Amino acid sequence: MAFTSMLCCVKKLDRKERGKKQLTWRIFSLKELHSATNNFNYDNKLGEGGFGSVYWGQLWDGSQIAVKRLKVWSNKGDMEFAVEVEILARVRHKNLLSLRGYCAEGQERLIVYDYMPNLSLLSHLHGHHSAECLLDWKRRMNIAIGSAAGITYLHHHATPHIIHRDIKASNVLLDSDFQAQVADFGFAKLIPDGATHVTTRVKGTLGYLAPEYAMLGKASESCDVYSFGILLLELATGKRPLEKMSPTVKRTITDWALPLACERKFSELADPKLNGKYDEEELKRVVLVSLVCAHTQPERRPTMLDVVELLKGESKEKLSKLENDEMFKAPQAADFDDEERSIAENSSDFISEEKDVNREVKEIVLENAHNS
């Protein structure tokens, strides 16, 4: 029922758009996608997660595609599929992954996208491409500004506005020119006109979750800003959002970075893989923007419109105000209480809708709020 009703929305959108411009997506047959992916051959698998698996494929005309094959065991899985299809059908922006089409036959739910030859930002920061050091500083700045522009479109220009809810390195894909494309809208929420937030059960990835979302389930554009701040800091430093300090203790990237930023030790924050080859002013700008985005108090965070302007360095007045923000004035203690910061080793970094926010997430959130 959920899938049918949501796809009705897509078909209505189809009819509305048909008179305006030619559609750039279509419905694929299961037979066509079996052929394109060599029957979903393991050698064609690009990755997998809680949602299912992604496969590389090639259509009859030679064009390369990525096919997300979802696990559909419930109405919730069907809903995620329908939400992603509808949102992808709505949005068109150079920094948002485009929908090529979808397939819904029997129990199969598949979404087809353009193939991104440079895979994800995660693969270059922490994955099998990280040793190749392909992300120089210029590329990192372009990725930062491009992904920020894509999220800005969702928050301020899409109708209705859209909250992504799962901004992270694996959901920023890179095309052949290393241009960023924000992907994976399965957790996204449409925001009704006039609403400041929607209350929902928590979905997302540990390390990227805004405190108010993790604790209260209040999703808003500001939650995406927080997640983007963590992503931005990860991009500049090469560190993961959560760093394992011992078998049972993890430290957040902001706990490590904020004291150094307060002491203006920006060179110590730069990813060692850059070998000192970066623009010092841009690095400082990225670090300060990332940390204010990841502020524990939502009202202190900028909008994504502000973020794009700050990253581009378009307003010296706003940059000066940011640099003199009180959060960067007093040096903050870098050490932490092992007992309070402890996270159970068997806890998952992924928070599903079926799970309430667990004690481990709350401990991190409360500790971060205390430090702020």
Binding residues for ATP: 68
Concatenate the DSSP letters of all residues of 185-213 into one string. Answer: -TT-EEEPTT-S-EE----EETTT--HHH
**The one-letter amino acid at 27:** I
CA atoms within 13 A on the CB side of 323: 15
- Extract the annotated binding site: 68
136 is catalytic: no
Active-site pick, 14, 78, 114, 166:
166
The rounded distance, in Å, linking the Cα atoms of 279 and 220 is: 33
| Catalytic residue set | 166
